Amino acid sequence: MAAIPFDQLDGEIWFNGEFVPWKDAKIHVLTHGLHYASAVFEGERAYGGRIFKLTEHNQRLHQSADILGFKIPYSVDELDSASKELLKRQGFSEAYVRPIAWRGSEQMGVSAQNSRINVAIAIWQWGSYFNPAEKLKGIRLDIAEYRRPDPRTAPSKSKAAGLYMICTISKHAAEAKGYADALMLDWRGQVAEATGANIFFVKDGVLHTPVPDCFLDGITRRTVIELAKRRGYEVVERVIMPEELSGFSECFLTGSAAEVTPVSEIGPYRFAPATITETLMNDYTKEVNPVAAAAE
Ligand SMILES: Cc1ncc(COP(=O)(O)O)c(C=O)c1O
């Protein structure tokens, strides 16, 4: 049986300051955000009834909108409160949280200076981002044809909807070949990230990860770097070229949706999830849900 479409789920959505029935949270086809990708969003997870790093996500939502030239008409505090209240009303303790802000339908055309800035938050239950059985063995990545753009050609520090166009194309191409996802290089040919997550490698007990100068410096990426340092692991942020991939023993992805996901293959390169990946997966699970970890 087909899964229930997202517009047919039950519950409520926070929409421009009000809680509205899920199925009524609709917009018009002549919405600037739909035609011109004037939209920014976040992806968060709640664990044990608490949204992990909620304020950091809402701060990034504001920054993303600033980069696209619009101001979100709700403060970070207001968005934090709305998200917490919505999580309670939805009745979930483990959930995915999706705030989005976009230019409305007041003006069509490339210029839309006076359009209303709309904001919505939806919360639903979303399990593992990757197939759970595959996730434990390590997922397989293809190498994408599209590259993360030069920051002079795209607002690469914004979590902007338009930047996901090449991610969806790349992920679909990878899935068509039987892969779970794709590694994207950047405009210079350097290793960048997956289509919705950052990437780490391990060599001789040291972690290596690309410098996030043209893609998101993920909140999970920063959390995992902190967890690794707490364990005494060395973390090197540097330029990584694809030819170097044969020299790494472990590889994993990080992201709010992906959490810490081991990788077993990238194109012709092979990795074996081992101690460091497992340790950081476990440490991340404890970090996001300290109450559950304390009860163990
Ligand atoms: C393209 C991309 N890179 C990296 C990340 C990881 O970011 P975060 O850890 O803040 O979720 C995400 C997920 O939001 C993403 O979509």
Q: Is residue 171 part of a domain?
A: yes
Same domain, 119 and 77: yes
Cα–Cα nearest to 71, from 40, 47, 46: 40
* % of the chain at pLDDT higher than 70: 99
Q: Which residues line ligand 1 (CB under 6 A)?
A: 43, 167, 193, 196-198, 215-216, 218-221, 254-256
Containing structural domain, residue 104: 6-124
Q: Which residues contact 258 (CB under 8 A, 6 or more apart)?
A: 129, 130, 194, 196, 197, 220
CATH number at residue 87: 3.30.470.10
Mean pLDDT of 8-35: 97
The whole-number pLDDT of residue 41 equals 98
Which residue lies with its CA nearest to atom 5 of ligand 1? 197
- Choosing from 54, 55, 199, 256 the residue with most ligand 1 atoms within 8 A of its CB, the one to mutate for a pocket test is 256
* Per-residue pLDDT at 88: 98
**1, pLDDT greater than 80:** no
Cβ-contact 285, 296 below 8 angstroms: no
Sign of the dihedral through C-alpha 117, 221, 280, 182 = positive
Residues 90, 178 within the same domain:
no
pLDDT reported for residue 288: 97
CA–centroid distance, residue 112 to ligand 1 (Å) = 28
User: Could you tell me if 211 and 94 lie in one domain?
Assistant: no
Q: What is the CA radius of gyration of the chain?
A: 19
pLDDT classification of 2: cutoffs 50, 70, 90 = low
3-class DSSP assignment, residue 137? helix
CB 164 within 8 A of CB 158: no
Which atom of ligand 1 is nearest the CA belonging to 195? 1
Question: Residue 174 domain-assigned?
Answer: yes
Q: Is residue 112 part of a domain?
A: yes
Number of helices (H) and strands (E), helices first, in the chain?
Answer: 8, 16
What contacts 132, CB < 8 A, 6 or more positions away? none
Same-domain status, 111 and 136: no
In a domain, 104, yes or no: yes
Q: Between 136 and 25, where is the model more confident?
A: 25
Give the pLDDT mean for 265-286: 96
Residue 130 has a pLDDT of: 85
Q: What is the CATH number of the domain that holds 276?
A: 3.20.10.10
Q: Mean pLDDT for the chain?
A: 96
Q: What is the mean pLDDT of residues 61-82?
A: 98
Indicate whether 98 and 173 sit together in one domain.
no
Choose among 47, 58, 56: nearest CA to 14. 58
Last residue of a domain, which of 106, 124, 142?
A: 124
Domain boundary among the residues 96, 124, 152 is at 124
* Alpha-helix runs per DSSP H in the chain: 32-36, 54-67, 76-90, 132-137, 165-176, 219-230, 275-288, 290-295
Taking the whole predicted model, whether its pTM rises above 0.85 is answered as: yes
Domain count, the chain: 2
Task: With respect to residue 1, please indicate whether it lies within any of the assigned structural domains.
Answer: no
Ligand 1 site-directed mutation target among 47, 191, 200, 220, most atoms within 8 Å of CB: 220
Q: How confident is the model at residue 131 (pLDDT cuts 50, 70, 90)?
A: confident
